[in-house]
Chain A
């Protein structure tokens, strides 16, 4: 989606949209490419994959702690 199209759907100026997109790009959530004079942004699957990796590790830790709590001898 181009910056212009993004901005047209939002109550935000084009320069603000560009600035926000740079934040998302720096954070690895969007990627961009040039199409003639336009810059096209799309979701970066690697950014979402990083979130997924975080949750994967979070649930590993949490379920290990849950297992330990559920198996405590004095409380079954």
Chain B
């Protein structure tokens, strides 16, 4: 299918590239939004293991872990690529892949431009067309998708994001 425009964001950080890279990765728990969580109990901690192939996951209050993806490229303090492997129906799938590339460009000793690109978004649609056993026609999948379409269009969502 035709490509969907990636999400591209840029932010300037008043800190060194080294510090910005470390806060983004080793410090992910300091900024990852708590409400974006697919586990059954609330999120206690977000983790990016700081190495190539490192896991990217969240630990719930009950101790269970939910994978988000992994580290595909590790080049501190300049560049990081993460695999975002959560599908449109909020399931982690090791065979599903969208990429999040983050670059850290020093423009001063305490100034870094951080650019993030989340790409391969058409794969959410391709994945939607793979009909899997167990899709619940009455609820589950359809409701979850409707909830974030509602959010995207500014309507209050009646559905909780729980796994």
Q: Give every chain A residue within 8 A of B116 (Cβ-Cβ).
A: 59, 63
When chains A and B are docked, how far (Å) is the Cα of A23 from the Cα of B145?
Answer: 10
Min CB–CB distance A74 → chain B (angstroms): 12
A8-48 near B? 1/0 per residue, CB < 8 Å: 00101000110111111011111000000000000101011
Tell me which residues across on chain A come within 8 A of B88, comparing CB atoms.
29, 51
Closest Cβ of chain B to A52, distance in Å, is 5
Residues on the A chain within 8 Å of B141, using CB: 23, 27
The 8 Å CB contact of A23, one of B14, B33, B142, is B142
Assess whether A43 is in contact with B125, with CB atoms less than 8 Å apart: yes
- Stretch binding the partner chain, chosen from B37-45, B48-56, B149-157: B149-157
Among residues of B, the one whose C-beta sits closest to the C-beta of A21 is B131
B133 at the interface (CB under 8 A from A): yes
Contact A59 B122 (CB under 8 A): no
Note all chain A residues with C-beta closer than 8 A to B107: none
Judging by beta carbons under 8 Å apart, are A48 and B7 in contact? no
Please classify how large the interface on chain B is, using the bins under 10, 10 to 19, 20 to 34, 35 or more.
Answer: 35 or more
B146 at the interface (CB under 8 A from A): yes
A27 touches B145 (CB 8 A): yes
Interchain nearest-CB distance for A43 vs B (Å): 5
B79 at the interface (CB under 8 A from A): no
- CA A49 – CA B116 in complex, angstroms? 19
Residues of A within 8 A of B27 (CB): 69-70
Over the window 1-39 of chain B, the binary record of Cβ atoms lying under 8 Å from chain A Cβ atoms (1 yes, 0 no) is: 110110101010111100110011001001111001000
A-side interface residues toward B, CB under 8 Å? 6, 10, 12, 16-17, 19-24, 26-30, 43, 45, 47-71, 75-76
A sample of 30 inter-chain contacts (CB < 8 A) reads A6-B131, A23-B141, A23-B142, A27-B141, A27-B149, A29-B128, A43-B128, A45-B4, A45-B125, A47-B128, A47-B145, A48-B125, A51-B121, A54-B148, A56-B7, A57-B152, A59-B7, A59-B116, A59-B118, A61-B33, A62-B32, A63-B9, A63-B114, A65-B31, A65-B33, A68-B31, A69-B27, A70-B13, A70-B20, A70-B27
Can you name 17 extra interface pairs (CB under 8 A) apart from A52-B4, A58-B33? A20-B131, A23-B135, A23-B137, A27-B142, A29-B88, A29-B145, A43-B126, A43-B129, A47-B145, A50-B153, A51-B152, A52-B121, A53-B153, A55-B7, A59-B118, A64-B11, A69-B23
